A and B are shown apart, each in its own frame.
Chain A
Amino acid sequence: MAIYSFWIFDKHCNCIFNREWTLVANSSSGTINSKQNEETAKLLYGMIFSLRSIALKLSKDSTGNDIRSISTGKYRIHTYCTASGLWFVLTTDFKQQSYSQVLQYIYSHIYVKYITHNLLSAFDLAEDESETRGQGTKKIANRNFITALESFLTPMVAQ
């Protein structure tokens, strides 16, 4: 199993964090919160958004039917969506079926711990109307969060 990139989207359709690994051999390579990934983030969001609404329409009863993973010819996308509207997205190769436990761990032990419980940082990155509906560009820059995330994900980058 190798992971290629990791993304967080908030309920305002904004990408609030992205991490991309470029060299498999060097797990500290790549970019964090890169501006160049804005477009990719929008495309990724759009793909998951569309597939989610299709899945919801195709489900037989009203209880939610969430997308868990999407496979393409080259990679697999794993998603974990919370009731509060956060999306945690991981792109990987095909060696492992499910990363839902990994994503749940990132949410409950890294995001909640270092972002939500950090009372000095805003709980919502969008400050006004102009930063909602996918127009915001603010990113999570919390050092504790990034350090914890790196040390958790690094062993998976080149396995």
Chain B
Amino acid sequence: MSSSSSLGGHSKSLRLAGEDIWKNKTEKVNGELFTLMYGSIVSQLCRDYQRCFPKVNDQLYTMGYNIGVRLIEDFLARTALPRCENMIRTSEVISKCAFKIFLNITPQVSNWSTDKNAFSLVLVENPLSDFVELPMDAMKQLWYSNVLCGVLKGALEMVQLDCDVWFISDVLKGDPQTEIRVKLNRVLKDEIPIGED
């Protein structure tokens, strides 16, 4: 059982906490099985939507959202982290803890907007797209790992952060790097019982 105090400190302790939870408290599954399972979902969706890739993107995003709203509870139960006070902290928790625990990767955080409300996650490796080569027609429109955007959107919404999450580039499309953009729209207000305001 991890105590919240051990995660209270700085970015370094976040990294250590993420590594500790990954190493000692997470059951491991075969990564290739995971990659292939995701691949079969995407290919099935492409077939179902008759290669209308914008629809496939939307469907992957929705599926991700539904995963994210549940995954956040799992994440909070493992880490016992409190709410983040700003987006800088949020970005560190996402890259050093969340991605580490669930996918064993640590994306780089970069391209901060001047108001510190939007940042990019650069995925040097992406376990979802191992072994994948997009066919020509999919190259233009399909965001293969779009499920990740949905997961981030759903999970952040559950901790009262209303964000937009989308892909900017993907190595599968011939871009130099895979980049996800996260932009905070607003911090949602906690509900209060009726009659209290």
Q: How large is the interface on B (under 10, 10 to 19, 20 to 34, 35 or more residues)?
A: 20 to 34
Question: With an 8 A cutoff between CB atoms, is A90 at the interface?
Answer: no
Name the residue on A nearest B84 (C-beta).
A83
Question: With an 8 A cutoff between CB atoms, is A95 at the interface?
Answer: no
Question: With an 8 A cutoff between CB atoms, is B136 at the interface?
Answer: no
Complex Cα spacing A116 to B70, Å: 6
Question: With an 8 A cutoff between CB atoms, is A37 at the interface?
Answer: no
Complex Cα spacing A86 to B69, Å: 13
Does A49 contact B1, Cβ atoms closer than 8 Å? Answer: no
Question: With an 8 A cutoff between CB atoms, is B133 at the interface?
Answer: no
Question: With an 8 A cutoff between CB atoms, is B81 at the interface?
Answer: yes
Task: For A83, give its contact among B76, B191, B193, B196 (CB under 8 Å).
Answer: B76
Interface members, chain A 58-99 (any B CB < 8 Å): 62-64, 66, 82-86
Question: With an 8 A cutoff between CB atoms, is B80 at the interface?
Answer: yes
Q: How large is the interface on A (under 10, 10 to 19, 20 to 34, 35 or more residues)?
A: 20 to 34
CB distance from A116 to the nearest CB of B (A): 4
Question: With an 8 A cutoff between CB atoms, is A11 at the interface?
Answer: yes
Task: For B1, give its contact among A13, A66, A83, A101 (CB under 8 Å).
Answer: A101
Given the known A-B contacts A64-B83, A101-B1, are A45 and B193 also in contact in the complex, defined by CB atoms under 8 Å? yes
Residue from the set B74, B76, B194 with the largest chain A CB neighbour count within 10 Å: B76
Could you give, for residues 29-56 of chain A, a 1 whenever the CB lies within 8 Å of some chain B CB and a 0 otherwise? 0000000000000100110010000000
Does B192 contact A104, Cβ atoms closer than 8 Å? Answer: no
Binding site for B on A (CB under 8 A): 11-13, 42, 45-46, 49, 62-64, 66, 82-86, 101, 104-105, 107-108, 111-112, 116-117, 119, 123-124, 132-135
